[in-house]
Amino acid sequence: PDAPEIKPPTLDSIGGMLGRPTERTQRDGLDILRYRYRPVTREKKAKPLDVTFTFDAASGRLQLLVAQLPTGTVNFRVTPAAKR
């Protein structure tokens, strides 16, 4: 059987999951949402997480997800699905 279609995230769905972004900017036809999470711990080695979602302002499609983690950076570029 065919796998169920997975809908790409939208500005609204990201906001619904993560709440208000730490920073929101618009540049060159893109909406950029930045979320920064600081650890709430006494652990001195704990570091923040910084996640940025970049959406095309006209279509609302997610273009890029960049997550800066304590152990490295995840870059995830989203391309439109191929037409069948």
pLDDT tens per residue, range 6-51: 777 888 899 899 999 999 999 999 999 999 998 888 888 888 899 9
pLDDT category, 1, cuts 50, 70, 90? low
Residue 34, C-beta contacts closer than 8 angstroms, at least 6 positions apart: 21, 22, 23, 24, 25, 50, 51, 52
pLDDT tens per residue, range 38-84: 888 888 888 889 999 999 999 888 999 999 998 899 999 987 665 55
End-to-end CA separation in angstroms for the chain = 16
Return the amino acid letter for 1.
P
pLDDT at 84: 53
pTM over 0.85: no
